Amino acid sequence: MRVLLVEDDALLGDGIRAGLKLADYAVDWVRNGESARHALADHDYDACVLDLGLPKKDGLAVLKDLRGRGSAIPVLILTARDTAADKIAGLDAGADDYLTKPFDLGELQARLRALLRRAAGAAAPTLQHGGVVLDPAGKRVTLDGAPVALSAREYALLHDLLTHKSQIRTRAQLEESLYAWGEEKESNTVEVYIHHLRKKLGADFIDTVRGFGYRLGEAAERGR
């Protein structure tokens, strides 16, 4: 899952990015509102963590611009502005959640998981397809109740497919979800991880839709 972090404090931003990367998110970090606006317009993010007091363009202005373009990306405001009026303004501008500084990194991760669940139309804390269950909080995957060992990239790819369960995901979309800026991509990365997941979860777990991309296999779901 790919997240845009918008935070101008260098120390805090570095800590948040490191914490989210440990939780297997691909994180792009920008430090001003103009850069955030461009990043949100040019890239496909699963969520945005947005500070309000930003240089060049205020966070609320970034949020209003985002919603004005019709984007439904989940946005978590993370700010030192802690009055009721500030929270109301942020939520009314289109934020999905509001967390004030100082904060606990574990709570930030839990709130992100909840936002991503709601965006995917899921109320349950786990993601499931056929006999495969992914627990985002514990970063565990099971097949028919038995644990399955996945690499960080395999886990991230599976998470993306389960989150977009009813959709065909293109190779470009899957790459976007796996890699943050500056991370090296190999030409056949997606295909390699798809191959690994099929070996571990079943040959029919992921379908190839020729000319389009990949989606979760209908046969795997029927086989529950």
pLDDT tens for the 224 residues of the chain, in order: 899 999 999 999 999 999 999 888 999 999 999 999 999 998 889 999 999 999 999 999 999 999 999 999 999 999 999 899 999 999 999 999 999 999 999 999 999 999 988 887 766 678 899 999 999 888 899 999 999 999 988 998 999 999 888 889 999 889 888 888 777 776 678 999 999 999 999 999 999 999 899 999 986 666 55
Check: CB of residue 224 under 8 Å from CB of residue 130: yes
Distance between CA atoms of 170 and 162, rounded to whole angstroms?
A: 14
pLDDT of residue 120: 72
pLDDT of residue 137: 82
Give me the CATH topology for the region 2-119. Rossmann fold (3.40.50)
Give me the CATH topology for the region 127-222. Arc Repressor Mutant, subunit A (1.10.10)
Helix or strand run (H / E) with residue 158: helix 152-163
Check: CB of residue 46 under 8 Å from CB of residue 74: yes
pLDDT of residue 144: 93
- DSSP string over 25-78: -EEEEE-SHHHHHHHHHHS--SEEEE-SS-SSS-HHHHHHHHHHTT----EEEE
Ranges of each domain in the chain: 2-119, 127-222
Distance between CA atoms of 121 and 116, rounded to whole angstroms?
A: 9
pTM: 0.75
Phi, psi of 43 (to 5 degrees): -130, 160
pLDDT of residue 19: 94
For 179, the token pair is: 């890699």
pLDDT of residue 209: 92
Distance between CA atoms of 104 and 30, rounded to whole angstroms?
A: 21
**How is the chain split among helix, strand and coil, in percent rounded to 5?**
40, 20, 40
Distance between CA atoms of 172 and 139, rounded to whole angstroms?
A: 24
For 31, the token pair is: 């430090």
pLDDT of residue 91: 94
Distance between CA atoms of 214 and 168, rounded to whole angstroms?
A: 5
Helix or strand run (H / E) with residue 220: helix 218-222
Check: CB of residue 206 under 8 Å from CB of residue 198: yes
pLDDT of residue 192: 92
